Structure 1
Amino acid sequence: MNPRVIGLDLSLTATGVACWDGRPLSTIRTVASEGDERLRRIAVTVRADAFDYLTNTGCDLAVIEDLPTHAHSAGITGMVHGAVRCVLMELGVPYALVPPATLKKYATGKGNATKPDMRMALYRRAGIDVRDDNQCDAWWLQAAGLDYLGHPPVELPKDQRKALTKAKWPAILPFAGVGGAA
């Protein structure tokens, strides 16, 4: 059985989600919501995407694009990270943090890749054409988690896969994969 990994590209206005259960890529849009209601909406949706209460099953790992180094202690996106991490902890879902440059290096081979570069890499490697940058990043985050756990969804050059060593992986994971999971 493949590990169940969810990819989350967190943002207050448009959070990209690659679900573990095969649902299409999606975006949690909160533009119509106000204030902290946006945080609650994201948290509630991530809870529903990370765990299926009908079957009592959830994902084995969540992979989140980390905040840029200069933004770790402040900012609205940090509030989104806090809300989502609390939900994942409540559900008992371990999560990994992948720096933006690491995700870009993994997907394209370049740590300074542009959004169009990321979309083109997704199309070339997986045949998936998405116009939403948030969904594209969520797919690559999910792919990074699957790859780390030994189930890469696409073939990538060794140098690109090596970028995964720069991510912050949880110490205890349900699968021990090629990527070096503990």
Structure 2
Amino acid sequence: MNPTLLALDLGTRTGWALRSSDGHITSGSESFRPQRFEGGGMRFLRFKRWLTEIKSHADVISALYFEEVRRHVSTDAAHAYGGFLATLTAWCEHHQIPYQGVPVGTIKKHATGKGNAGKDDVFASVTARGYAPVDDNEADALALLHWAIQHHDDGQEV
């Protein structure tokens, strides 16, 4: 029986990948784009509700890994990431789920052999593993999940 692991590429379009206890991997991409007539915090409430939904389907999440971004394209992107990160870490603490941020370069190096690989390279490496990601967010989450599986299962738990 494998520990259930969840990997997230946080953002307005969040990529996710989940390895269930039977070893089956599912993944996707979920949009948390602000709706036209909702307040600024609603996207984070929808994100929190979505996390709870994932948890209810997975039953138990043994550990959660997220892509740790240190540099953002814009101030808006940085603010959005900060909101998703705050929501995620509070949710994990509430549900007593261990969590760990993994630097982007670490994920890219594991997936492609190069820490400065481009999005296309990560996408290609995930596709070569037999996946068909809908976008680069899902591809990043799958790459992170494979890093997490190797490190978590080797006894380097979060």
Name the TM-score, length of structure 2 as normaliser: 0.83
Aligned to 2:29: 27
Distance, in Å, in 1 between the alignment partners of 2:88 and 2:157 is 23
Runs of 4+ aligned residues of structure 1 deviating over 6 Å after TM superposition are: none
Unaligned runs of 5+ in 1: 151-176
Aligned to 1:60: 62
CA contact (8 A) 1:66 1:97 kept: yes
Aligned to 1:7: 7
CA contact (8 A) 1:119 1:133 kept: yes
Distance, in Å, in 2 between the alignment partners of 1:18 and 1:119 is 14
Aligned to 1:173: none
Q: Whose strand fraction is larger, Structure 1's or Structure 2's?
A: 2
Aligned to 1:112: 116
> 1:140 is matched with which residue: 113, 138, 143?
143
- How big is the shift at 1:146? 1.0
Q: Whose helix fraction is larger, Structure 1's or Structure 2's?
A: 2
Q: Aligned in 2, Cα 1:79/1:116: closer, same or farther, shift over 3 Å?
A: same
Equivalent residue pairs, number: 148
Identity of aligned residues (%): 28
- How big is the shift at 1:79? 1.2
CA contact (8 A) 1:67 1:78 kept: no
> 2:53 is matched with which residue: 45, 48, 53?
48
Letter in 1 for 2:17: A
Unaligned runs of 5+ in 2: none
CA-atom RMSD, angstroms? 2.3
Structure number with greater CO (CA < 8 Å, separation at least 6) is 2
